A and B are shown apart, each in its own frame.
Chain A
Amino acid sequence: MSQPVFAPWEVPEAEPLIRFESVSKTFGEFTAIDALSLDIFEREFFALLGPSGCGKTTMMRILAGFEAPTSGRILLDGQDIAPVPPNKRAVNMMFQSYALFPHLSVWDNIAFGLRREGMARDLLAARVDEMLRLTRLEKFARRKPHQISGGQKQRVALARSLAKAPKLLLLDEPLGALDKKLRQETQFELMDIQEKTGTTFVIVTHDQEEAMTVASRVAVMDEGKLIQVDTPDRIYEAPNSVYVADFIGNVNIIQCVVSPDDEDSRVRLEWGDGRTPLWAQGEFGAGRRLSLAIRPEKIQVSRRKPDGVANAVYGEIVDIAYLGNISTFHVRLRDGKMLKAQIANTRRISRRSFSWEDHVWLSWSDTAGILLER
């Protein structure tokens, strides 16, 4: 049985948990966040994604209360949080360095926040044990942080920040220090814990795969601005700009001009003298200069020219990146333009269909690419 889709951002009357109202933050001359407005809803797993220096960490530190916005308001549950100091906010943070207290045991680290609330002894013990169970750390309760592994430290940091049952949990590059395999396992663990506790998570990351895996919505940031806020599949398949298309995953960008003779909902694109025009979905006036973005896996590779396909170009394979599950072919067209095509390796290695210097046809449908403003 399928579950109802979780999408409060599509409900017009839904009240957000967090609301940024044209928030700006400047450090001297430098603008870290530029008049940014954003709603984050309860139970969301929201990812802030962007290159380093794009302002994502500053946003998180403003939410935690370590920085104050230069202008604008931030509402948590409808309340302006500006006058609330970090130690009084119903917001907890998991630090990139984990920031575990080295002189306290795992148990005491998790109990730290609860003790500050003055929680009764037996309730406190029960809560800490619950957190230890949730993060599978029961065996390590008496250890000190330097006596456990990186992955365990990460779980202690998570347990500690969840112990106070915050309305909002901030995670600053939570998996940055783990190796790739452990990181992937931990991503699913995070999602699981987020679902179990029903806490709203805001995660900061520069790893697009991580953001796509865990998040219900992803905000792509650049230079203190939100470029696109959308679900992972929309971000990937319907990017709103060349920046987003290029930042998330692999993409071929073809510069082109809309030619006058179009069909309904389809345009013909000139992309260089002597090249067969391309077809793509969209309605644009003739003469518009656009970028056609096509993901490499949407392009088919074949030896013979396929019939009945909207777009087909001829070229030579100059490079093959074999990644095990997929292979990426770098194909040079006759006039030097390079395109990337990806093929899933569904069969074992015994017989490769294509090799270096092979001449192949690349083809894609008119719905495969997306037209973006330059």
Chain B
Amino acid sequence: MRLSWFNTISLTLGFAFLYLPMVILVIYSFNESKLVTVWAGFSTKWYGELLKNEEFLDAAWVTIRVAAMSSTLATVLGTLAAYVLVRAGRFAGRTLFSGMIYAPLVMPEVITGLSLLLLFIGLDIDRGVMTIVLAHTTFSMCYVSVVVSSRLASFDTSLEEAALDLGASPFTAFFLVTLPIIAPAVIAGWLLAFTLSLDDLVIASFTTGPSATTLPIKIFSAVRLGVSPEINALSTLMIVVVTVGVIVASLVTKRAAVARAREELAVERS
């Protein structure tokens, strides 16, 4: 299909608007010069510098730990929530419950962050890695729940009934039948939660303490003292990690369907 000139231009402008800033950042991360706005030839030295920077490495380690823990917790809670909402049928307050689970999707981050901060202060919890983990779990859980419940909605309930019929307890039926079948959606949800946690600045800055600085916080505070090529390099790496995460998440969901369709086609042909 050929695109008309109008479509071509709108497509170009749209993508330029979305990605030009990032492309410039990536290009300047390979700049030889220390000045961010002056191009002085290609170099990867800032990536080398980055690896020697203890502070950045510490922040990266904190970020990954937070992301891994919060996404795992969010996946467990989100999957359970999705399961209940899809399976429990109509119960009193179901609409309210599903609304409340999805509300964080549209809740301003500042408000989520502030309310969590007040909660932690009120409960007198020392802020640090654990508080960020809890905070990230609360907002990424709803994303997991959305992904998993859309998979569960198309899940043939007679599979679970068959498992029960063959002597499995409801608990065994969930782990041996339901979970393996919805696994791609659960994994996709985990990856989504992981990337969301990686790049969150607002909620993390509300709920962090002196002991735990995540990468986005580190970058934000470093930029206030002036943008360095090192920050560009770091940001490029984060873009790479997040992009890979999102791509893998969508591939995992699609691959299962595509593979099955192809094999079914092969069976029909034979």
Contact = CB atoms under 8 A, between A and B. Distances in A.
Interface of A: 64-66, 85-88, 91-93, 95-97, 99, 101-103, 112-113, 116-117, 144, 146-149, 160-161, 164
Contact of B167 (A97, A102, A117, A147): A117
Contact of A102 (B161, B168, B172, B181): B181
B263 interface: yes
A117 B172 CA distance: 12
B164 interface: yes
B59 interface: no
Nearest to B177: A101
B47 to A, nearest CB: 42
What is the interface residue range for chain B against chain A? 20 to 34
Contacts of B172: 116
Interface string B158-183: 11011111111110100011001100
Given A86-B164, A87-B164, A147 B159 contact: no
Contacts of A161: 165-166
B54 interface: no
Contacts of A64: 161, 165
B18 interface: no
B181 A112 contact: no
Contact of B168 (A65, A66, A97, A116): A116
A93 B160 CA distance: 12
Interface of B: 156, 158-159, 161-170, 172, 176-177, 180-181, 260, 263-264, 266-267
B265 to A, nearest CB: 10
Contacts of B166: 87, 92, 112-113, 116, 160-161, 164
Contacts of B165: 64-65, 86-87, 91-93, 161
Contact of A99 (B162, B169, B170, B176): B162
A94 to B, nearest CB: 9
Among B161, B162, B165: residue with most chain A CB under 10 A: B165
B167 A116 contact: yes
10 contacts: A65-B164, A66-B161, A86-B164, A87-B168, A112-B168, A112-B176, A116-B168, A149-B267, A161-B166, A164-B167
Nearest to A66: B161
A65 B264 CA distance: 33
A178 to B, nearest CB: 15
B180 A103 contact: yes
A84 B130 CA distance: 45
A102 B168 CA distance: 17
A99 B167 contact: no
B2 to A, nearest CB: 38
